[in-house]
Structure 1
């Protein structure tokens, strides 16, 4: 009876621990950042990095890059819930929230697209092939460099695609899906995320392989032991 009470008490403690751990990342850091930036007229909040950590209990983390017109910074690791992590799993390197001249938006898209088409920030120009592309004014050079525009200009058809997705409230990954977690641009500019994810997957695979090997090894040893014991018993029986 005491053993049953002991086991029941242990199970209750375990469930409480799971519940406490599960509630650890319920806060949404982006909402907290938006509150902290409520007096800032223009900014972008970008998922700069993400990771999963832990073996028994998995914890989920984001890092955010905050870009303002005159400065930028990256947060430390912010724990988020599993559901929020999975909800944004495809948005690495993309803008999650922004505010332009006092107007907020939660449109998900490539960094900086929220400022394209606004004559306060730049203008449309024509290249030698007749293509229309967006050029930011020189005073926003630092701003655009931090956002990642060193990869090349934004052409009007790219912006039109972004607008089309925005009107449907859908994330825009670029004309060639080059942005976001699975995009070629992201893989080039955030290799640490992919290295870390690959190491974690290898670790999981190795751990699983060891468990399988150990399990089958113990069963095999057990069968061999039983076979040898049975053989000795039969031999002794024949001797009698």
Structure 2
């Protein structure tokens, strides 16, 4: 898991950046990301530094992993979404504290930057752009529900989030704004977002299968360890009993 690179989809970067600048940016990101490992600077900060000249983007926590039994190593994988392109990182090693800090936010945006604001609280994909007429508008469906619709060149934003994006209704957005006012992450009206939510379970089933396999492996190792200890104890007891009976 110690390879670090980024993949890109989309034809051009946000803000009219040229193709040459895109590849220069990609190269800069690779340089920053490749040095993550166990360095003191978290990968999120390195990505933000590499993207300092990009006016609008979101960083989504796309996957997490743990390796090892007694001495564990922790990894993150990110998706960087710009206004008409997206970049996906490979596995990036993080510290245990950093892993624990974001443990609940699988499939959520852990940092968003727009020309108007920066958001550091974990948010569901796309919510940071809602309410801004630059990106879209509120519409009403046939059932009378009010939902947010991205339009024009920003219509791709929902697709760039991949399977993580879900339609955003007015009631959900109100809940999100209330959570932001309290400086809290918003997991959805029914807590459908984040590591414990149904969205992550649908989009990233491998995360849960890896987790279950790790738990099962740990239980098996513990069972074998207990069995070995019990075996040694019984053997010793019989030996001592035999000595007393002679």
TM-score by length of 2: 0.81
Shift of 1:139: 2.4
- Contact kept, 8 Å, 1:41 with 1:99, in 2: the verdict is yes
> What residue number does 1:236 align with?
none
Count of residue correspondences: 210
Structure with the higher helix share, 1 or 2: 1
The correspondence of residues 132-211 of structure 1 with structure 2, limited to 5 A, is 132-148=146-162, 152-211=166-225
Separation (CA, whole Å) in 2 of partners of 1:133 and 1:155: 4
> What residue number does 2:3 align with?
none
- Contact kept, 8 Å, 1:111 with 1:148, in 2: the verdict is no
The correspondence of residues 1-240 of structure 1 with structure 2, limited to 5 A, is 24=38, 26-101=40-115, 103-148=117-162, 152-231=166-245, 233=246
Structure 1 residues 42, 151: CA separation in 2 closer, same or farther (over 3 Å shift)? closer
Unaligned runs of 5+ in 1: 1-22, 234-240
> 126-135 vs 157-166, which deviates more?
126-135
Shift of 1:111: 0.9
Separation (CA, whole Å) in 1 of partners of 2:39 and 2:209: 24
Unaligned runs of 5+ in 2: 1-36
Separation (CA, whole Å) in 1 of partners of 2:203 and 2:163: 12
Separation (CA, whole Å) in 1 of partners of 2:164 and 2:234: 60
CA RMSD between the two structures: 1.7
Separation (CA, whole Å) in 2 of partners of 1:154 and 1:84: 29
Shift of 1:229: 3.0
Shift of 1:25: 5.6
Shift of 1:103: 3.2
TM-score by length of 1: 0.82
Provide the secondary structure at the position in 1 that maps to 2:63: strand
> 146-155 vs 213-222, which deviates more?
146-155
Shift of 1:90: 0.4
Separation (CA, whole Å) in 2 of partners of 1:131 and 1:27: 44
Where do 4+ consecutive residues of structure 1 move more than 6 Å? none
